[in-house]
Amino acid sequence: MQIISFLDANDVVFTATLDGAQYKIRMLWNENGGFWTISLRTTDNVSLLEGVKAVPDFPLLAPYHSPKLPPGEIMVTAFDASTQTVFRDDFANSKVALVYVTEDEINAI
């Protein structure tokens, strides 16, 4: 499992290597709705996934898997089992973490 760190900002784009390939990830805080979304692009800015709500302990790529997406799974891991909502400061305060579970790790389960 790989922890994906990013700057504490309401809208941040960063590059991450997932299963050997590089992707641009955008984390966007929706102030009106009170939730985070995640978007995924190639390094050439080709959209692969846009605006998926970041909910805790759910495989965020599962409904969208395709050969263009990373073969593993992106999840928001909550460190407290009672966490059901990811609030604005939860990543910065380490209440949750954005993680990538590799294809090999998934296959080993």
**Where in the sequence is the domain holding 73, given as residue range(s)?**
2-108
Please give the residue that has the higher pLDDT: either 29 or 84.
29
| Model pLDDT for residues 14-33, shown as the tens digit of each residue | 999 999 999 999 999 999 99
Residue 61 near residue 70, CB atoms below 8 Å? yes
**CA distance linking residue 26 with residue 24, whole number of Å:** 7
The predicted model scores a pTM of 0.92
Provide the number of structural domains found in the chain. Answer: 1
Q: Are 33 and 51 in contact (CB under 8 A)?
A: no
